[in-house]
Structure 1
Amino acid sequence: MALKLVFMGTPDFSVPALAAIADAGHEIRAVYSQPPRPAGRGMAERLSPVHAKANALGIPVRTPLSLKVEHEQQAFAALETDAAVVIAYGLILPRAVLAAPRFGCFNVHASALPRWRGAAPIHRAIMAGDPETAVMVMRMEEGLDTGPVCLTDRVAIEPNVTTGELHDTLARRGADLIVKALEALEVGSLDCTPQPSEGVTYAAKIEKAESRIDFTRPASEVHNHVRGLSPFPGAWFEASPPDGTPERIKVLRTERIEGSGAPGEALDDRLAIACGTGAVRLVEVQRAGKRAMTAGDFLRGFTIPKGTRLPL
């Protein structure tokens, strides 16, 4: 028997789960997503990825600015659903909303809870050098990602994987996991276990000030910093092209290499840069307003000779 659901999500990460739930035959009575936002050069309003997918599936979409007002809570309750599925929605669900569905609200979270509760779990796991993460289905409570965990799929974090790549893997795995959770919920066999009280960490939102590369840090940390911020917002350093005007150069991919020198020193003519200990080679970079490119393509128009000291 299909469940009657609400789906609540906004970014690309949520789209595979919405599609998988629809394919599984559940009745999605409404999709909630963040309102359209101005985007692009013309600043025209753009639908969220979830909103666009819901339109394609023929599911009605609601875009309230808040769920704290009584009329929105009444409208949510009037849907008379069995459960809500919440994935990177972007609004806090008050108690009245959490209590409205018959079986409650279930969140797909991209970390090995209780590690990396909060807004940026994929970025933070890679930046911290974690060897493993997970995607989890959790029964929601009023606390920030504090609810009991129902299903878990653990995922190794490969040494050179970027946030963008891990994001896509976890989105696919999360879609499969929520479908399994809903199958269990249908037959009354979904068991959820409280999170341990030890090992709690918080994945704070990425701030712009964190994006600048600090070459005084060890090469392992610089490498994790770059891949943790790739492709967005992108870690960067400053350098001057032949015309002498300093530019911010985003670094999207690095590799750790043998080498030593003063932090920020170019060790050769192929973008090997010394760190506090060890060195990294810049493999993929992006100039402002340009496409991402390999180091070789970059160096055809922007030289950083051996011995150059990048600003710290």
Structure 2
Amino acid sequence: MRLVFAGTPEAALPALDLLACSGHDLLAVITRPDARSGRGRTLSLSPAKVRALEFGLPVWTPASVRDPELQSQLAQLAPDACPVVAYGNLIPPAALAIPAHGWINLHFSLLPAWRGAAPVQHALIAGDEITGATTFRLEAGLDTGPVFGTLTERIRPADTAGDLLERLSYAGAQLLLATLDGIAAGTLTPVPQPADGISLAPKIDVADARLDLAQPAFAIERRIRGCTPAPGAWTMFRGERLKLGPVTLRGPEADPLPPGELRVTKSRVELGTATVPLVLQQVHPLGKKPMPAPDWARGVRIAPGERVDLPPGTVR
């Protein structure tokens, strides 16, 4: 089939690589515009754009797929399908209608669970034991289209969002290729999503990643894993943001520690929660590189009973 691929971050690369080397005809890549990042505000290309240029493919970077020029270019190419992996932009109905077989999205959850921009992060924060990936045809609703295929993936106890997304991106690339092969062969028909089991996974921003240390330790640990590597779970220490992760939980035999209070021994740094203390493995102070928690604690000389700053409204 004639394909135009849409994707942006690293998670899109396994699928882009596989499709570029498949028996399908990859015509072009749509990705987000170049963006400025870092302290120097250097203009950077999306990972998908970098890879597409390496393949010698035409790259389109519209601010919106509503752009009439983009839609005209797409119509002229007349693709049979547009595979999508983490593109990061809504596809309007006029563009959805252009490819003969529609836009085929690879979504990193078992739909209808975790519809939205951050399915992997929300699955971890919620404590799910199983997740997966789904290929489905895009329609006007948010991740509501009919499903072509799924795969399942066990969530491991120490998985971060980065770990889990990496595994799903590679397994999902195979699922996407198999889906496109089935569509081309006429052997695959999508089925509607069930009406029950729907959950939403909106984007997690920096404010969402702030830790509430008055919660149970297990909930805090899940949020840390779900926000790693981005945007990074954090709290405040001496008036500056401090990112945390990974962490482990002490057992029920551990001496209790008030929420937010730090306890330092020769070998570890503990942080109090509503239940058992957390053992900090790594911390990332503002403006510095990540470091082992004991090294950080020795450097800042934590006083007995000193606390990180709790979110506003927390009872100390």
**TM-score, length basis structure 2:** 0.92
Q: Which amino acid is 1:250 matched to?
A: K
**Aligned pair 1:149/2:142, yes or no?**
no
* C-alpha RMSD of the superposition: 1.5
Please give the secondary structure, in 2, of the residue aligned with 1:78.
helix
Q: Which amino acid is 1:206 matched to?
A: I
Cα distance in 1 for partners of 2:271, 2:304 equals 9
**Aligned pair 1:37/2:30, yes or no?**
no
In structure 2, stretches of 5+ residues that fail to align are: 311-316
1:247 aligns with one of 240, 262, 268: 240
Cα distance in 2 for partners of 1:124, 1:308 equals 31
8 Å CA contact 2:206–2:232 kept in 1: the answer is no
Cα distance in 1 for partners of 2:232, 2:302 equals 20
Q: Which amino acid is 2:199 matched to?
A: T
8 Å CA contact 1:268–1:307 kept in 2: the answer is no
Cα distance in 1 for partners of 2:240, 2:303 equals 16
8 Å CA contact 1:273–1:279 kept in 2: the answer is yes
Q: Superposed, which structure 2 residues align to 1:1-312 within 5 Å?
A: 3-240=1-238, 246-258=239-251, 259=254, 260-269=256-265, 270-312=268-310
Q: Which amino acid is 2:102 matched to?
A: G
Deviation at 1:239, TM superposition (A): 2.1
Deviation at 1:268, TM superposition (A): 4.1
Q: Identity across aligned pairs (percent)? A: 40
Please give the secondary structure, in 2, of the residue aligned with 1:202.
coil
CA-to-aligned-CA distance 1:112-153 (integer Å, 9 cap, x gap): 111110111111111111111111111111111001111111
Aligned length: 305
Please give the secondary structure, in 2, of the residue aligned with 1:178.
helix
Deviation at 1:293, TM superposition (A): 2.1
> Which residue of structure 2 lines up, in the alignment, with residue 243 of structure 1?
none
Q: Which amino acid is 1:109 matched to?
A: H
Q: Which amino acid is 1:164 matched to?
A: G
Q: Which amino acid is 1:252 matched to?
A: G
**TM-score, length basis structure 1:** 0.93
8 Å CA contact 2:264–2:297 kept in 1: the answer is no
Deviation at 1:168, TM superposition (A): 0.9
Deviation at 1:305, TM superposition (A): 4.8
Cα distance in 1 for partners of 2:303, 2:110 equals 43
Deviation at 1:306, TM superposition (A): 4.8
Deviates more, 1:160-169 or 1:231-240: 231-240
Cα distance in 2 for partners of 1:173, 1:302 equals 43
CA-to-aligned-CA distance 1:172-201 (integer Å, 9 cap, x gap): 111111111122122111232211111111
Q: Which amino acid is 2:228 matched to?
A: S
8 Å CA contact 2:2–2:80 kept in 1: the answer is yes
Deviation at 1:44, TM superposition (A): 2.6
